[in-house]
Homo-oligomer: A and B are copies of this chain.
Amino acid sequence: MGITQRKEREKEEMRQRILDAALHLFREKGYEGVSIRNIAEAIEYSPGTIYLYYKDKSEIFYALQYEAAALKRDHLLSAALLENPWERLQAIGRQYIDFGLKHPDLYDLLFIIRSPMESIENQDCWILGQATHAFFVETVQACIDHRYFKSTDADTIAFTLWCHAHGLVSMFVRERIRMYPEERREQLARDSFEMIIKMAATL
């Protein structure tokens, strides 16, 4: 009875081959810049074949988005190990920015790109994102409980810190930091992160 298993495996391999080619192309030309024919050509199949594995172009995007969300969750887990909530919070921030600068296309995929029919479609991805966000807010709450902050509004604190991190990464990802010379940007990001941490410590 190994045949159906092999078929299943081959199908999965094909799906992954499409995903790999798509990610590679999306990184180069962006979502709109890549056609189904491009992807088909990259894997040396005809355009129609793609539709046997993904029902349309956006489903390929969503599959990639889910992979990105899972990778991001894995990154986060390293920070989750720290017992002390204040150190954990700093680690989360560092990890968030690290992920964004290291995988700008995946970050774009997750947090910026206005994908086709920006809705609840890819629910798996959405649930993943919600869970990591909840973990973030809980850590802020833990900091409050342990008297690291005087302020007690966990939501606002979390949101404010997130604004900074998301803004920082976004500007890198969408290249809106042309006013700062190339060679200073990375240092600027580090300095700004340290600054927001110091600022947060006064909350």
Contact = CB atoms under 8 A, between A and B. Distances in A.
Copies of this chain, complex-wide, total: 2
Nearest to A189: B159
Nearest to A120: B178
A165 interface: yes
A70 to B, nearest CB: 18
Given A179-B130, A199-B200, A114 B174 contact: yes
Give the interface size bracket for A toward B: 35 or more
A44 interface: no
> Binding site of A, secondary structure by majority: helix, strand, loop or mixed?
helix
A10 B125 CA distance: 51
A200 B166 CA distance: 18
A149 B30 CA distance: 42
Interface string A151-184: 1010111011011111110110011101110000
Contacts of A175: 118
Interface stretch (A12-20, A55-63, A72-80, A190-198): A190-198
Contacts of A167: 162-168, 170
Q: Which 3 A-B pairs have the closest CB atoms?
A: A167-B167, A163-B167, A199-B199
Given A162-B167, A199-B199, 18 more contacts: A30-B114, A111-B176, A114-B174, A151-B195, A156-B188, A156-B191, A156-B192, A159-B188, A159-B192, A160-B192, A160-B195, A160-B199, A163-B165, A163-B167, A163-B171, A166-B171, A166-B176, A199-B200
